Amino acid sequence: MNGRATYLDRMVDHHRARAAEDPRRPVDLRARVADAEPRRGFEERLRTDSTGGLCVIAEIKRRSPSKGDLRADLDPEVLARLYADGGASCLSVLTDEAHFGGSADDLRSARNATDLPVLRKDFTVDVRDVYDALLMGADCVLLIAAALDSGELADLHGVAREIGIDALVEVHDEDELAVALGVGASLVGVNQRDLFTFDVDHDRAERMGVSIPSGVVAVAESGVRGPQDAIRLAGAGYHAVLVGESLVTSADPRSAVAALRGA
């Protein structure tokens, strides 16, 4: 981590404190993952689908720290099916309860409702979080470079590879991107939300697109408002956009996904 205060601090501190109190042994969890059902191939789906245009990773999110409740009547199963019908390639499900109102049950419900691969969107700070992601049914785990030092990122990324779950490494700038590539990340997300102000820099992903190697699956996160943003990001070399708030709050999520995919 960079040592400066960011909006991530209290969330990451919360999860580190929980991990410190967790009595479970990683070795026991590792034994359990051997019996987990096969993963659906999150990264592979994006590589395949992106040959036909920009992919959409549609997010299921009940609330956000900045906006509060987004959709009071959210049903993960119903929303997942609408996203799938609209042409989404993958799902992203918030499982953080304290700050986003999510849960492992939301992820299980969404995954059972479709055949789409699912990202567990949470704050991964401990090896047990990686095992938990696989055990709850996720096909991909989120690793936020700003929340981890380079050694932690390398360790967690390595564990994900060992147990057969994909890892989306999220970065905010070129320095973090260099660290992500240094640990061998082949799936990288550029988050356009500023760590200090919580504002969205709509040009960040476009600027950083040229720095992402062609063999890496590139995902633009946060601030994707509609088809025009999707067109810009596809032109900047991105394989996919991860979209949450604008889809969750849409009156017609299926059509909103289809519009992004069509762009």
**What would the pLDDT profile of 199-216 be if each residue is shown by its tens digit?**
788 788 999 999 999 999
Clarify whether 67 is annotated catalytic. no
Asked if the model's pLDDT at residue 111 lies above 50, the reply is yes
Clarify whether 174 is annotated catalytic. no
Q: Is the dihedral of CA 133, 136, 140, 142 positive or negative?
A: negative
Cα 109 from Cα 1, distance rounded (Å): 33
pLDDT at 5: 56
- For the chain, give the mean pLDDT: 91
Q: pLDDT, tens digit, for every residue of 212-263?
A: 999 999 999 988 888 999 999 999 999 999 998 899 999 999 999 999 998 7
Clarify whether 162 is annotated catalytic. no
Catalytic option among 89, 92, 109, 121: 121
Q: pLDDT, tens digit, for every residue of 144-165?
A: 999 999 999 999 999 999 999 9
Domains defined along the chain, listed by start: 9-262 (3.20.20.70)
Catalytic option among 176, 191, 206, 245: 191
Catalytic option among 152, 170, 206, 245: 170
Residue 118 zone, left/alpha/beta (φ > 0; ψ -120 to 50; rest): beta
Clarify whether 50 is annotated catalytic. no
- Residues 47 and 186 sit within 8 Å (Cβ to Cβ): no
Clarify whether 121 is annotated catalytic. yes
Question: 229 Cβ partners below 8 Å, 6+ apart?
Answer: 202, 223, 241
Mean pLDDT of all residues in 50-64: 93
- Give the tokens for residue 191: 């988050």
Catalytic option among 152, 176, 221, 245: 221
